Structure 1
């Protein structure tokens, strides 16, 4: 199920915003906040669909997101990620 208003459920909601907008090796620490987040997919789709250039979103750095955007320019990332999640969690996939 896709959560439209995902931000209140984010694992990082109580973290300092500065913790997610870091450079270099600090990004790996920031990505740990996303691990196990219940709305990680929605967050990532938001960043990809809106081409947000800075920070860690959905467990991915800006460099990682740019690579995805180059592979599938013009894609609706919400649709791509929602479909992938449905396929991954369907009874046939389990």
Structure 2
């Protein structure tokens, strides 16, 4: 599967983006929308590479993304990392931890 440059146009949340900017327990419901999204990795890379702090991106909350960034401080391009992981193992989600 190739990287989708215009990922936002086909994202599962494109019609319900307000549902992704919630707090507390509502975040778990919002993350469910991401589960079947065809561009989940593109979305996550966008948030991680641009230090987006608010909302659900690529199925992760801001807290989860901060923790990931702390665990992997040497990653200079999340897009490159996630794209390479997808290319090498297209049937599996890349391990981020």
Q: Is TM-score (shorter-chain normalized) higher than 0.5?
A: yes
- Structure 1 unpaired stretches of 5+: none
- Structure whose alpha-carbon radius of gyration is higher: 1
TM-score scaled by structure 2?
0.86
- 1:28 and 2:28 aligned: yes
Q: Within 2, Cα distance between the matches of 1:88 and 1:67?
A: 24
Q: Within 1, Cα distance between the matches of 2:53 and 2:88?
A: 28
In the TM superposition, residue 6 of structure 1 has moved relative to its aligned partner by 0.6
Q: Within 2, Cα distance between the matches of 1:71 and 1:34?
A: 22
In the TM superposition, residue 74 of structure 1 has moved relative to its aligned partner by 4.6
TM-score scaled by structure 1?
0.89
Residue matched to 2:85: 84
- 1:46 and 2:46 aligned: yes
- Structure 2 unpaired stretches of 5+: 92-97
Deviates more, 1:38-47 or 1:64-73: 64-73
Root-mean-square deviation (Å): 1.2
Residue matched to 2:95: none
* 4+ residue runs over 6 A deviation: none
* SS in structure 2 of the partner of residue 67 of structure 1: helix
